[in-house]
Amino acid sequence: MRDFLLQNCWLVPFYGLIGALISLPWSLGSIRRTGGRPAAYVNILMTAIGFLHGSIAFAAIWSQPTQNIRQTFEWLQVADLDIFLTVDISPVSLGALELVTGISLLAQVYALGYMEKDWSLARFYGLMGFFEAALGGIAISDHLLLSYALLEMLTLSTYLLVGFWYAQPLVVTAARDAFLTKRVGDILLLMGIVTLSAEGAGLNFSDLASWAETSPLTPIAAALLGLALIAGPTGKCAQFPLNLWLDEAMEGPNPAGILRNSIVVSAGAYVLIKLQPVFTLSPVSSIALIGIGSVTAIGTSLMALAQIDIKRALSHSTSAYLGLVFIAVGLGHVDIAFLLLFSHAIAKALLFMSIGGIILTTSNQNITEMGGLWSRMPATTTAFVVGGAGLVALMPMGMFWTMDKWLDGDWQVSWWLFAILLFVNAVCAMNLTRVFRLVFLGKPRSKTRRSPEVVWSMALPMVTLTVIALLVPSVPQSWSFWLSLTPPLDNSDSLITQLATPGLIASGVIGLILGATMELRRADARPIQVYLRFFQDLFAYDLYIGKVYNLTVVWAVAALSELTAWIDRLVVDGIVNLIGQITIFGGNTLKYNVSGSSQFYVLTILLGMSLLLGWFAITGHWSGTIADWLSSSSS
């Protein structure tokens, strides 16, 4: 039985899709009497079955270290074109699949309480099932074209879930911006896929390493190919300069935000990690990955400090930690990239579960209007503390061991990377401490005075994930055997290795101290110092990236559209209208020649022939025309 489930674990993503299809009668309103609850139960049941199937398969393959199963399905065969879609069944892919189904199951149970009074509950669960199917497929896909199709499914489901409450104009705008921003990267990614296929790469992730060793690409072509393949994950992972969509996507329901900030952004990075052999062909690709990751990690960490919306204060840190993943891939440290994704996903999912309970009970997202929730919501407070500790490199939580493993001497680490890790860790600790003080400490305020603890359907998954987050620290050690993708070095005697553990601990403690001692500003409070107000506005408005876009890209597109409209209206339509007027004028003029007199018609024919013969005589074509006419007459 275990072997059968292992061989057929490629069916796990279909469970979520089946649940979404079964939800259609309720989603479309064909069934109204029962409400949307049956659709919710069906999707939760299908996700639980998928999680159980994946768990058995994962346990089976865990006991067989050397087993790696690849299954191929023929998708298209036309003339000489054969496209086979391949799935990879390995401890890493099944571990990613378990992470997807596990967090999706907890988020769907969580949504029973959060979305209890929503009138379109069935539609939400149908979209969540579609969401889960795409994520699960990406986890086990070994084919770039299949992964691209699943990423497109992910983009569509993101658009539909962000715009779930479509009656609100701001929600519609956020969904549109998220969709279009992702499409920018997807188009370039598709260009890279076509190039890879044309160069004989085969499009299987597992074959890219051997292809890269004998790649026929020139340095310029390799650089352009790498940049094209980086563009897709840049949009999916909300990296600079395509990072603003994740901030706006917080307008969607919070249970979907749990997946979006933990798993969805990781899907793009997961594909990026599998494409790593292609990036070794050109140093431009590695430099671009490191540059994008560094700018995003530093910039979004600072942006989070100035946010007063509780969801946006945490969503920016998502981009920051995914920036560290980009740096790891650029350096070739794919083992660390996997561990960063895992540690971050667990911690961030727990944080969003915690703040979801706060938003539901207070009907508010402004942290400057909160306070005193510690005594009223102990389970929610514990979840926030454990999730925050798991996100910051505080011993003995998961992110600490992941970063410490990065710096333990097995990989070549420079001082600039060490400084970025310490900076991101300190600023993240500072931001989480600031949010904790504003929300949970102090005296209860008007909007938090009567806030109860969350209902059981929200508390159960939140407590479960809290326990899991406490067990995460063992993963970086136990998975090191499976993630031996990068040949380790021996730099244990380097100064960075010796400073790694005390440096990580010190950066976390410094961040906590700064967050605990910094001045908290409540609603409408503004600093008096001009330079503080400047930096507050700079970080709060996302370094004015949106305004820069409006003055450059948006302006250029609008100007080009106006120019095209002017040409279409005055030039194209003008020529068409002129031809029409000439035709009408000619027709009205010639109608007076229809007199019914044969003498007039003969005279007209003679005049026409005279003009034609005169034209031939003037242009010198008389003899040739006569000869052609005589030859045609004789024949």
Residue 499 pLDDT level (bands cut at 50, 70, 90): confident
Residues in the chain: 635
The structural domains of the chain, with segments of one domain joined by +, span 1-142, 143-197+204-550, 568-634
Residue 326 has pLDDT above 90, yes or no: yes
Nearest-CA neighbor of 111 among 314, 257, 315? 257
- HSE, side-chain direction, 13 A CA sphere, residue 582: 6
Residue 623 has pLDDT above 60, yes or no: no
pLDDT over 90 percentage in the chain: 19
Predicted structure pTM score: 0.85
**Measured between alpha carbons, how far is 324 from 543 in angstroms, rounded to an integer?**
20
- Higher-scoring residue by pLDDT: 305, 608: 305
Residue 630 has pLDDT above 80, yes or no: no
Per residue in 100-131, pLDDT (tens digit) is 999 999 999 999 988 888 888 889 999 999 98
| Phi, psi angle pair for 522, to nearest 5° | -80, -170
Residue 489: the pLDDT is: 57
Residue 482: the pLDDT is: 46
Per residue in 20-52, pLDDT (tens digit) is 999 988 888 788 887 788 899 999 999 999 999
Residue 632 has pLDDT above 50, yes or no: yes
Residue 97 has pLDDT above 70, yes or no: yes
Q: What is the mean pLDDT of residues 187-193?
A: 89
Residue 479 pLDDT level (bands cut at 50, 70, 90): low
Residue 217: the pLDDT is: 82
Residue 243: the pLDDT is: 82
Q: What is the mean pLDDT of residues 245-250?
A: 84
Residue 295: the pLDDT is: 92
Contacts of 42 (CB under 8 A, 6+ apart): 19, 22, 23, 125
Report the chain's mean pLDDT, rounded to a whole number. Answer: 83
Q: What is the mean pLDDT of residues 551-558?
A: 86
**Measured between alpha carbons, how far is 149 from 435 in angstroms, rounded to an integer?**
38
Q: What is the mean pLDDT of residues 530-553?
A: 80
Instruction: Look up tokens 């939140």; give the residue.
Output: 462
- The pair of structure tokens assigned to 481 is 């055997």
Residue 103: the pLDDT is: 93
| DSSP character string of 224-283 | HHHHHHHHHHHHHTT-TTS-HHHHHGGGS-HHHHHHIIIIIHHHHHHHHHHTHHHHTT-H
Residue 294 three-state SS: helix
- Secondary structure string (H, E, C) spanning 149-216: HHHHHHHHHHHHHHCCCCCCHHHHHHHHHHHHHHHHHHHHHHHHHHHHHHCCCCCEHHHHHHHHHCCC
Residue 486 has pLDDT above 80, yes or no: no
Residue 481: the pLDDT is: 43
Residue 46: the pLDDT is: 93
Residue 144 has pLDDT above 60, yes or no: yes
Residue 327: the pLDDT is: 92
Residue 245 pLDDT level (bands cut at 50, 70, 90): confident
Per residue in 66-96, pLDDT (tens digit) is 556 666 666 666 666 667 778 888 888 888 8
Residue 634 pLDDT level (bands cut at 50, 70, 90): low
- Higher-scoring residue by pLDDT: 272, 31: 272
pLDDT over 70 percentage in the chain: 88
Nearest-CA neighbor of 71 among 143, 168, 155? 143
Per residue in 426-463, pLDDT (tens digit) is 999 999 999 998 888 888 887 778 888 888 889 999 99
**Measured between alpha carbons, how far is 424 from 429 in angstroms, rounded to an integer?**
8
**Measured between alpha carbons, how far is 402 from 459 in angstroms, rounded to an integer?**
28
- Higher-scoring residue by pLDDT: 587, 106: 106
Per residue in 389-439, pLDDT (tens digit) is 888 888 777 788 888 888 876 677 788 888 999 999 999 999 999 999 888
- The pair of structure tokens assigned to 586 is 């000619």
Residue 105: the pLDDT is: 93
Residue 473 has pLDDT above 60, yes or no: yes
